[in-house]
Each structure stands twice: as structure tokens, then as C-alpha cells.
Structure 1
């Protein structure tokens, strides 16, 4: 069916795939700032950099874009959804760098293996960078263990850098009193919020054009309806817009209007999550075409 709407609208690729795609990255003001923080962390060899954001706002896509710009003198390890105790953490880390753990290794052996790796890379002029995606899953004890790993750094040179990406609860964990030493090691942190209505419209046009369209395949009222239903979260915007194009092609529509979004809602194709914590209590479906939207992104 997606191939069908590609032909109908003249797209070369799907405009709204939910898979992270750095080639489709839309540089909103917030994304530019988040990326600048990540680059700043690498440039200054910051021991700890933290970027948080709601599910689906594009954190993983930013990391994929960052990896395309890293220097050859950096040894990058990427870990997603790591869980477990401190021994498990070290095994996750060694696996990220394709390092075999000694048979029957205990925690001390695992730590020594990793430290030897970091020191050998430093001797060859390379910096070790460890990136954790979905870092809120690590928990307070494991985050403290990560802080202890930064003790490998000594003198004026940084041998190991940590970059943590996670959902908003990661920031809440880091600010607990028992993690004050961890927080003190964080050189830069940024929260990537959802889009406002204007940014959502620009995002939709951008992806339509990147896919080979004109950008007008989804009209303004439809974009406003998508924004309200998705609450400005890019992943949800993608899901709704993709289904809307399927419906539009099936109905032989030259462009998607707000009535198509209403039809998706009536047909139950859109599952809407609860509002973000801290948002005002409002309906899970906002169907007023001219609803007043707040200006600026959440921080």
C-alpha cells in the first residue's frame, strides 16, 4: 500500500518512515541546539554529556547524525537499552567495542579489561567515546557506576567520554541527592521538547519535499490536525501522516485535508498516549481546527 501512495503522489521514498534516518533530519531550532550540545561535548572532551527528550522526538536520529561527523581519532561504542547490575554494565560496554571478556571474569577482571582498552587507545592517540541510548533504563546505581568509570581519566587529558540520551526521567534520576557527584561531572545537558504547531507544519513540508514531493501534499489544516493529535511528537506525526497518505491515495485525493485526519481518528487507526507529565489535563484528541497553540517548544 505504501508503494501505491508513492506512485500516486510522486514520491521517491516514504516521507514519514518511523525509522531513524539522518538523511531526513529536520533541523528545528531545538534540534540544532541539542546537536550543538552534543558536538560541544565531543569538541571539549567533556566527561559527561546528557540529552533528554520525550519518546519519539528524534534523540536517536541526532546520534546517528553525530556518528557521521565523528573524527577518526575517536573510538565510538553505542549501547541501546542496557539493563542490569554493574557487572552486566561492564559486559555491555565490552560488547560495544567488540572486546572479549576473560573466561570466568569477575567485576575486577572486567573493569581491568576495559581500563586496559581505554589506555591502549589513548596510547594510539584515540579517545574512547561511549554513548548510551535510553539511559533512563540504567537506574541510579548503574549511573553512579558510570561516574566511577570516568575516574579512568587522569591529569589534564580525557581518555573516556560518556554521552547519555534518555527520556525525561533520566534528568529526574540525575538530580537525586545521592547522584550529586554524577551531576557535578555533567558538562552539558539539554532537553529536546516537542514541536509547536508552526514547527510541525514546517517539519511535514520538509519531509514531503525530501521524499520528492512539492510539500503541499498535506495542507495547512491537515497539518494543524496532525499536530494536535500527535502533540508535536515527531514519531507520532510520522505515523499519522503516513496513514493519511495511504487514505488519500486510496480516495484519489491530490492532497490531504483535515477531513482525512478526522477519518483516521473515526476509524480508530491512531492510538494516542497519555499527555506528557506536567501538561494541562485536556482531551486525548484535540479536534478543533483553530485551537490556540502555545508558541515555542517545551523545555
Structure 2
């Protein structure tokens, strides 16, 4: 099946507006997403030792992060680590891999640490600084977070040779707030927590993504948007899932090109989308 035979042509769209793959082109810059991005950017530009961004699953953290990485200047060397796990020493190997630093897995920890330190010093000598980004950092243990804190102690005179960006779910924020993590918390210069979207932001988010995908009219009614917010709690990833199914249902019925709360409710009633909460849709049809 080609995209032209899918719902795209029916709604006059050029691409699917609600895929689950993070795409910076579809970023909806809500006030809190603008603030979150500003904090990330400030952390990099101000040479903050550690910058932290947390939020619910699907809140848009990774999309913001990818947009940030796409804007990095040539004088920044970036190492991206996703879903890192493991005991002491293994985390350092994740870092070496992310920076493309050759190493022998059988070498001792001190040799791996020396390889990283040599790399950081060589980058500094070239006028470059290193930013290590940990996505899904809530999977790193407290011991691992402490190991990361030790990395930022590698410095040259007054200049820190490496910065950390920690991105993760709310559990990461809870871990950092633990009394045993006080030394780490003190090194976090910039931090932001992404909350769920409210009803108004959810409607603006839906219409923004539809417009980017080629829609020239408001296909989702206000009632549909209100219902979508009610059952997703304003989590962007869940909003995407429900909207995608709503477009599919509306296309297969071929009755109208407007998605009302009744169409959304049909998706919910069929059980193809898992609702976070029950919602009275009749008042919003």
C-alpha cells in the first residue's frame, strides 16, 4: 500500500502528521517547550557542568534534544548515549563508544579513564569542547550517576573539558533529589521539567501538526480535541497515537473529512487505543 492510497490524499496531507518518530520539523513550541529548549541551550552556551531535562514518557524530550543537537556549533564534540545501563566501568565504555574512542574491553578501568582523559585534553587543545548527552538517563543507577559526576572533574585550569546533559523521566529527578546525590545536584546548573499539555495546548498542538503536514483547514473539531486531551492527559506521544487512529477511522468511513468527538470515541470504544482515564464524550460531540 502506497502513501497515496492511505488517508493522506483523503485529507490533502503531504505526510503523516502523527508518527511516533521524533521529528524536529513537527515541534510545537508551546511556552513550556520554549522554556525547556532555552534551558538546554543556555546550559550548553554557559558551559554548565550538568544540565538536566525531565518529563513524562512522550512529553517531547527527545524531539527537543534532537533539535538541540542539530544546532550544535562546529567547536562542540557531541557524544550521545541512549538507554545506558550497567555497573561501574561499563558506563565509561558507553561514553568511549559514543565519542568513537578506541578501547579494549578487557583493559582495566583506569586505562579506559585515561583514554577518555587523553581525548578530552586533545579536543581542548584543538579549541573544541565535549558535550556528553545521556538520553533515558533514569536507567543509570545512582552509582552510575556518581561516576558521571566524577567525569566533570576532569579539567584544565579553570576550564571544564566536558559537559553533561541528562535527559530522562521523572524518576531521574527523584534520584537526583536523594540526599546521597547532593554532590551531583550541586553541579546541575540548568534544569527543567516538562509537564503534560493542558487542553488549550493540546488543541494547538494537534492543529499545528496537521498544518505542517499540509492541512489547510481545521480537520479536528474543538470537541474532538477536548476529548483527545481528556483521554491522553495531554501527553504528546499518546495524542499522536489517538489522532493517527482518528484519521484512519475517518478515512475508512468516507462520510466526512471532519474529525469530531464521535469519531474519536469510536476509536476508544473499539479498544485500539488504551485510554488513561474515562471521559464523558457526549458533552463534547
Q: What band does the TM-score fall into relative to the shorter chain?
A: over 0.9
Q: CA RMSD in A?
A: 1.4
| Equivalent residues of 2:265, 2:281 under 8 A apart | no
TM-score by length of 2: 0.96
Unaligned runs of 5+ in 1: 274-283, 292-299
Change (3 A) 1:215 1:233: farther
Q: Are 1:229 and 2:211 an aligned pair?
A: no
Structure 2: distance between partners of 1:70 and 1:134:
20
Cα-to-partner distance string for 1:19-57 (whole Å, 9 max, x where unaligned): 000011100011000000000001101010000000001
Match of 2:21? 19
| Equivalent residues of 1:218, 1:256 under 8 A apart | yes
Match of 1:67? 69
Match of 1:138? 140
Structure 1: distance between partners of 2:72 and 2:8:
34
Structure 2: distance between partners of 1:162 and 1:123:
20
| Equivalent residues of 2:261, 2:281 under 8 A apart | no
Match of 1:205? 207
Cα offset, 1:241, TM superposition: 0.2
Unaligned runs of 5+ in 2: none
Cα-to-partner distance string for 1:88-141 (whole Å, 9 max, x where unaligned): 101100110111113621111111101111110000000000000000000211
Cα-to-partner distance string for 1:218-268 (whole Å, 9 max, x where unaligned): 111001111111100000000000000000011112110000111111100
Structure 1: distance between partners of 2:170 and 2:214:
35
Any residues of structure 2 matched to 1:67-216 within 5 Å, and which? Answer: 67-102=69-104, 104-216=106-218
Aligned to 2:133, the other structure's residue is in SS state strand
| Equivalent residues of 1:240, 1:270 under 8 A apart | yes
Structure 2: distance between partners of 1:236 and 1:268:
14
Change (3 A) 1:289 1:33: farther
Structure 1: distance between partners of 2:103 and 2:145:
21
Cα offset, 1:2, TM superposition: 8.4
More displaced stretch, 264-273 vs 10-19: 264-273
Cα offset, 1:214, TM superposition: 2.0
Cα offset, 1:215, TM superposition: 4.4
The structure 2 residue matched to 1:285, chosen from 272, 278, 281, is: 278
Change (3 A) 1:263 1:51: same
Structure 2: distance between partners of 1:103 and 1:199:
48
Match of 1:272? 275
TM-score by length of 1: 0.91
Structure 2: distance between partners of 1:263 and 1:8:
19
Structure 1: distance between partners of 2:12 and 2:86:
48
Corresponding residue pairs, total: 281
Cα offset, 1:272, TM superposition: 3.3
Q: Are 1:260 and 2:257 an aligned pair?
A: no
Q: Are 1:242 and 2:235 an aligned pair?
A: no
Any residues of structure 2 matched to 1:31-42 within 5 Å, and which? Answer: 31-42=33-44
Structure 2: distance between partners of 1:248 and 1:34:
35
